[in-house]
A and B are shown apart, each in its own frame.
Chain A
Amino acid sequence: EVQLVESGGGLVQPGGSLRLSCVASGFTFTTSWMDWVRQAPGKGLVWVSRINSDGSSTSYADSVKGRFTISRDNAKSTVYLQLNNLRAEDTAVYYCRVWVADKRDDYWGQGTLATVSS
């Protein structure tokens, strides 16, 4: 069974930082691209970042470029999202997501809430 379990969310002041983690299991993590998607309260979905299977290539939405960093540890089957210089508009549930090719399906974690407020 594919599982993605996020953690690391919480309340942080504007300008602060958070590190989100997503632990994966049930599929071949080392060959899978991983994504982070966020959803502000009551709003739609926004693709935030993507990382390739070995971590050598990353992409970011313009709204987070230069502030967020995606990384992965294949030995721990974990993908990270470092959130720096946080703004109120970064308040959202952050989901980890993966397309598993041999299952022809995608999988999402339960999400972790990051709240940026003074």
Chain B
Amino acid sequence: EIVMTQSPATLSVSPGERATLSCRASQSITSRLLWYQQKPGQAPRLLIYGASTRATGIPARFTGSGSGTEFTLTISSLQSEDFAVYYCLQYNNWPFTFGQGTKVEIK
């Protein structure tokens, strides 16, 4: 099973600042990575697929990058609605595996 490790566990950021979230795979997953945002009581919302392609309707302030084992989600200027938990998911090998999540909180 591929282990996905996200860092940091919690990120405290002020509105308008940049947030950088990391996700590392225990072996190469090429670019088969998704990023999700989840708010309390809601289902996850897809942000990025194929490591770097924004999903439908996702604002340009969300950028995904990386390949192989190292991936990054950057939120260029945090808005109030961006405070949430973010998960990466690899879909290169079964079982698909999620990272443990990064909580982005208001500083």
Chain A residues proximal to chain B, CB less than 8 Å: 44-47, 50, 59-62, 95, 103-106, 108-111
Given contacts A47-B97, A47-B98, contact A108 B44 (CB under 8 A): yes
Closest to B58 in A: A105
B26 → A minimal CB distance (Å): 16
Q: List 15 additional contacts besides A95-B43, A109-B43; criterion CB under 8 Å.
A: A44-B87, A44-B99, A44-B101, A45-B36, A45-B87, A47-B98, A59-B95, A95-B44, A104-B49, A104-B55, A105-B46, A106-B46, A106-B55, A108-B43, A108-B44
A16 → B minimal CB distance (Å): 25
Closest to B87 in A: A45
User: Is chain A's interface secondary structure helix, strand, loop, or mixed overall?
Assistant: strand
Complex CA distance for A88 and B49, rounded to whole angstroms:
33
Which residues on the A side are within 8 Å of B44 (C-beta)? 45, 95, 108
Which residues on the A side are within 8 Å of B49 (C-beta)? 104, 106
Given contacts A62-B1, A103-B56, A105-B55, contact A47 B43 (CB under 8 A): no
Which residue from B1, B43, B98 sits with its C-beta under 8 Å from A44? Answer: B98
Which residue from B36, B43, B56, B99 sits with its C-beta under 8 Å from A111? Answer: B43
Which residue from B36, B87, B95, B101 sits with its C-beta under 8 Å from A61? Answer: B95
